[in-house]
Amino acid sequence: MTIYVREAHPLDEWQMKSNEKGQDDVCYAQPKTLEQRVAIANDFTKRFKYNVPFGIDEMNNAANDAYAAWPERLYVIDEQGRVSYKGGNGPFKYDPREVRAWLAGHFGEVKHPEVAPSPAPDGAPAPAGYPGKKS
Amino acid sequence: MSPILKWGLTGVGVVGIGIVVGLCFLAGSPKDAIGMVRYALPHMHRGNLKVGSEAPDATLVGLDGQTRFHLRERSRGKPLVLAFGSFT
């Protein structure tokens, strides 16, 4: 499951060159309302045709705070609801391959192919009514 | 100025420059180093969760912006990988 938390590199904070149009084209202001978070999350899932179960953190950042998740982090929760794997803080210690190896070690070979990061498709639509989107 | 004070100040200066250069190298540029110190470091935490800890619950919102569900509902009875992140 993917959980969307506060933005890491929004326009009004630490925006990076790679966020700009012509590269990743992900220029958003830090959401101030839940509606803005929902709009960005929908933009993400539509652009990448992302069909993994998805949840959005509330504006009180409860999930983020409970899991020390920002900017990105991976966990595995076991059948009893306990933390079985805790990944490091992204981006430097965010390691999906480590999770893959962990899963293979516990549950056998992972059958899904490894997916390399790919750029967003051209002409991806902006979320409707999102004021922070720069076009 | 005494030699000890002089060397002390020089040492502090060298360490300070080293920290600034290190941050610039790590972040990519002086602008990014400022961004990292101002916006990233205050939000990055190791957290208290450890392997074996009970996974905390939290209320999450669905992509429709209306549906709410508990993380715990999704983790009981089967293993669950959680990938936290944002778009930028």
Alpha-carbon gap, residue A64 to A58, rounded angstroms? 9
CATH topology of domain A1-69: Glutaredoxin (3.40.30)
- Tell how strand A83-86 and strand A73-77 pair up: antiparallel
Per-residue confidence at A117, pLDDT binned at 50, 70, 90?
A: low
What are the start and end residues of each CATH 3.40.30.10 domain in chain A? Answer: 1-69
**In Å, how far is A23's CA from the nearest CA of chain B?**
12
Q: What tokens appear for A81 in the block?
A: 């609801």
Answer whether B7 touches A (CB < 8 Å): no
Q: Which of A24, A58, A72 sits opposite B61 (nearest CB)?
A: A58
For residue B69, what pLDDT is reported?
95
Query: How far, CA to CA in Å, does B51 sit from each of B35, B54, B60?
Result: 32, 9, 23
Answer whether A49 touches B (CB < 8 Å): no
Answer whether B86 touches A (CB < 8 Å): yes
User: For chain A, how far is it from start to end, CA to CA, in angstroms?
Assistant: 30
Model confidence over B13-38: pLDDT tens digits?
Answer: 999 888 888 877 777 788 888 888 88
**In Å, how far is B17's CA from the nearest CA of chain A?**
22
**Chain mean pLDDT for chain A:** 83
pTM: 0.78
With 0-12 / 13-18 / 19 or more C-beta atoms within 10 angstroms meaning exposed / middle / buried, residue A24 is middle
Q: State mean pLDDT over A100-105.
A: 90
Q: Is it the case that residue A75 has pLDDT exceeding 90?
A: yes
Q: What is the complex's ipTM, to 2 decimals?
A: 0.80
